[in-house]
Amino acid sequence: MLDFSKDYILENDTVRLSPLQKEHVKELSVQSNDPDIWTYLLEKGRSFKQLEVYISQALENRRMSKEYPFIVYDKIQGRSAGTTRLYDYSEQLKVVKLGHTWYGKDFRGTMVNKNCKYLLLEFIFEDLEVERVGFGVHEENQVSLSALKSVGCSEEGALRNFIPSLAGNGRANIVLLSILKNEWMNSIKPELHKKLNIKA
């Protein structure tokens, strides 16, 4: 069961995920001042004030047991890289979603994302005993789509005309992806072991 009042720490030799806190605004503002981060996100956090609101809303959602936000720390560079969170958790259905993920430009294209996903998926499937984790990505965000598929996600459909288009005229789809517990245990985890050079 996901306990929203508990402070979970997930880490390996490359990254550490810890609960997002109000005092993280300053260190994350160094990374968030990048327009590329917010292109496909409905929330905005580029300016210091926007980031304060962004983090406050995430913390309020945690208090309401709606979301569990993490700050991501890159142990190799010795800096905070960005954030990610769990949301739409159902203990009864044994499902959760993973998203709201962003990293500063110095951390994109590194091993930070795969290490984070490994730790989170291990936590979700093996500690929380969830059966399915879902993801949703803007159809034009090919970088995120490719990253999720490289981790092992399967594309399963789309929410049609779900959000306004980036151009401001018309609507855009959200692509839906997922990973199932048996897929994680049987193939995705062993494959990530190899990619990340983790000993089984």
Q: What is the dihedral of CA 76, 78, 79, 81, to 10 degrees?
A: 20
Per-residue model confidence as pLDDT tens digits over 25-48: 999 999 999 999 999 998 999 999
CATH class of the 10-196 domain in this structure: alpha beta
Tokens linked to 66: 């709606």
Residue type, 195: K
Q: Where are the domains of the chain?
A: 10-196
Distance of CA 50 to the CA centre of its chain: 19
Quick one: which of 93, 106, 97, 25 has its CA closest to 66? 97
For the stretch 132-173, pLDDT in tens is: 999 999 999 999 999 999 999 999 999 999 998 888 789 999
- What pLDDT is attached to residue 42? 87
The answer to whether the Cα torsion of 134, 138, 139, 141 is positive or negative is negative
Contact 103, 30 (CB under 8 A): no
- Residue 191 pLDDT level (bands cut at 50, 70, 90): very high
pLDDT at 85: 98
